[in-house]
Amino acid sequence: MLDFLQAASDGVLFGTTYALIGIGFTLVFGVMHKLNLAYAAASIGAAYSGLIILQAWTAAPAWAVFLAAFIAGGLIGWMVYLTCFHFIPLSHPLAPLMATVGMLLLIDEIIVHMTDGMPQNYPAVYDDVMLRIGEFMVRGDLLLVGAVSVLCMIGLLALLYRTRLGLATRAVSQQAVAAQLCGIRVGQVNAMTFVITGLVGGLAGALIGASVGALSPLLTAPLTVKGLIVTVIGGLGSIPGAIVAGLLVGGFENVFQLYRGVTERDLYVMLLLFAFLVFRPGGIFAPRGGRD
């Protein structure tokens, strides 16, 4: 029983990293009804950019690296928007999808060229903190990641429902043409969505780097796949859904890893996804009467 609880809690805590990536996927999809496959790669790229600050300021504290990653994330998000979405007409829905695949490969390869593909040590916060209750252990740094994802969620929901930008974003998401007729600049709103998700992504990348302890281009592929699964299970466009689904997927896979071994672990995650698609195709937080 203790094994089960421990595995579940480890997994749920690690699921916070999936949740952070899921938020970004779901936000872009919710607003633009487009998939940005480069998102996880961009987040990791931003985390790498944070390391550049260590070149100039070798004694930089972890928060400075995280801040740099946060800002770089916004910049990279904006660049992804420009290169993969801005100039491609809406009548070709598959073209931006493919462009983001190209972007994913490009970002990965830029990282590889800058670092020769070697894993890079990442500054950590609270990584030596271990909360212990008898044999039961909880990682302090992952609690921080969890707290940050909840803060991100609150911040994003406040942005979406309490600001004019949020109002415009929701308007564009519901009916882009009508929003445009009301004087909303759709392009600008879309670009802002990318910058905001990019900022969240930069932070997510930095926190993932810190909790894993090292960065490698190897991180992008599994994060992309898990992020997509989390987005679908959580309900497309739902930010709380992405967080809940992230924790669920994390806990689920770790429990199955405990009982069925690592080689079968991901098979069960896929089965979980199938179960959702069959029994609750809208996801945990299905959008009400949503289009598409």
**Stretch of residues binding other proteins (CB under 8 A), selected from 59-67, 189-197, 240-248, 267-275:** 267-275
Tell me the closest approach of the beta carbon of residue 119 to other proteins, in angstroms. Answer: 4
Structure tokens at 243: 């967080």
At residue 123, the 3 state secondary structure works out as: coil
**Stretch of residues binding other proteins (CB under 8 A), selected from 9-17, 149-157, 181-189, 198-206:** 9-17
Among 126, 145, 153, smallest CA distance to 26 is for 153
Residues 71 to 90: which contact other proteins by CB under 8 A?
A: 83-84, 87-89
**Stretch of residues binding other proteins (CB under 8 A), selected from 61-69, 110-118, 172-180, 193-201:** 110-118
**Stretch of residues binding other proteins (CB under 8 A), selected from 52-60, 114-122, 154-162, 240-248:** 114-122
Interface residue with other proteins, options 53, 75, 159, 273 (CB under 8 A): 273
Distance, in Å, from the CA atom of 17 to the CA atom of 213, rounded to the nearest integer, reads 13
Is 99 an interacting residue with respect to other proteins (CB under 8 A)?
yes
Interface residue with other proteins, options 137, 151, 154, 158 (CB under 8 A): 137
Residues 169 to 208: which contact other proteins by CB under 8 A?
A: 208
Tell me the closest approach of the beta carbon of residue 163 to other proteins, in angstroms. Answer: 27
Cβ–Cβ < 8 Å for 15, 207:
no
Structure tokens at 223: 């994060």
Interface residue with other proteins, options 105, 151, 157, 182 (CB under 8 A): 105
Residues 32 to 61: which contact other proteins by CB under 8 A?
A: 35
Helix (H) or strand (E) holding 154: helix 140-162
At residue 138, the 3 state secondary structure works out as: strand
Q: At what angle do helices 62-81 and 94-115 cross, to 10 degrees?
A: 140
Is 103 an interacting residue with respect to other proteins (CB under 8 A)?
yes
User: What is the number of alpha carbons within 13 Å of residue 230 lying toward its C-beta?
Assistant: 36
CA distances from 128 to 41, 51, 52, 136, 253 (A): 28, 21, 24, 16, 25
Interface residue with other proteins, options 61, 63, 93, 154 (CB under 8 A): 93
